[in-house]
Amino acid sequence: MNKCGVWLQAVELRGDEFADTSAYPFAISTLQHRQKLTFEQEVSFFVGENGSGKSTLIAALARRCGLHLWAEGKRRRTTPHLHGSLADYVDVTLPRGPVRGGVFSAEHFHQWAEFLDDVSTIDPGQAKYHGGTDLTLRSRGEGLLAYFRGRYEVPGLYFLDEPEAALSPASQIEMLRLLAQYRRRGHAQFILATHSPILMALPGAQVFSFDASGITETRYEQTTHYRLYRDFMAEPGRFLEGT
């Protein structure tokens, strides 16, 4: 039975059908397999090294789910996909039909916040909907948390690409609390690509690990991120040996 907040129930990636694996994004070895992901919880994390395909898959999933990707239009005009789109090889299961939601990228947040502040001078309701007025006048971390608190009150499906990029450890803990709160409410689903062992510590969340062999569900304590941070905090000097 589909849980209340799980809008995207399953994803099938037909990576074995890639016609040309020499060009991005089809050259990413993680994605070159036929594999299925099943989402059973309101919060899921994509974890893995840079270049393992986490952000690439998030963009493809968002596109297949009909969600807008900020600044994508400009990217398409300047760098057309000569070999097609990864979304062409992705099938999604949305048992409740079309879903509202959004895609967050730390890379484009400041640009987007400036645009929102301009729009809010004409339509003040937009500012309230997205977390309050003048996001650009706050520190980047404060602006992000204000945006998260406002925008994610709305039921739907939300993809986040490395939201921790502008958050201090204390702010990451605040976001962890926010995700826990929203998970209890069950009104929305969140899929995050992250390197943060703080965020991925959310109890009950699913963790999908990306590496050359494909995408596999794993436990938080088994992730490379958790083990590396644990070992470093226990004995940081060991990591400096030979320098």
User: What structural domains does the chain harbor?
Assistant: 10-105+156-176+186-234 (3.40.50.300)
pLDDT tens across 109-139, in order? 555 445 455 444 544 555 554 445 554 444 5
Mean pLDDT, range 187-193, rounded to an integer: 97
Residue 154: pLDDT over 60? yes
pLDDT tens across 214-232, in order? 999 999 999 999 999 999 9
Asked if residues 188 and 157 have their Cβ atoms less than 8 Å apart, the reply is yes
Mean pLDDT, range 3-10, rounded to an integer: 88
Closest CA to 131 of 110, 115, 150: 150
- 187-200 in b/e form (b: 16+ CB < 10 A) is ebbbbbbbbbbbbb
Under DSSP, the state recorded for 132 is S
In sequence order, what are the residues at sequence separation of 6 or more whose Cβ sits closer than 8 angstroms to the Cβ of residue 182? 42, 43, 152, 188, 190
Mean pLDDT, range 40-44, rounded to an integer: 97
Beta strands in 67-202 (DSSP E): 90-93, 101-105, 156-161, 188-193
- Please, which pLDDT band fits residue 147 given cuts at 50, 70 and 90? confident
- Please, which pLDDT band fits residue 83 given cuts at 50, 70 and 90? very low
pLDDT for position 144: 82
Closest CA to 162 of 109, 210, 86, 203: 109
Q: What is the mean pLDDT of the chain?
A: 84
Q: Which has more pLDDT, 2 or 107? A: 107
Neighbouring-strand partners of residue 229: none
pLDDT for position 73: 45
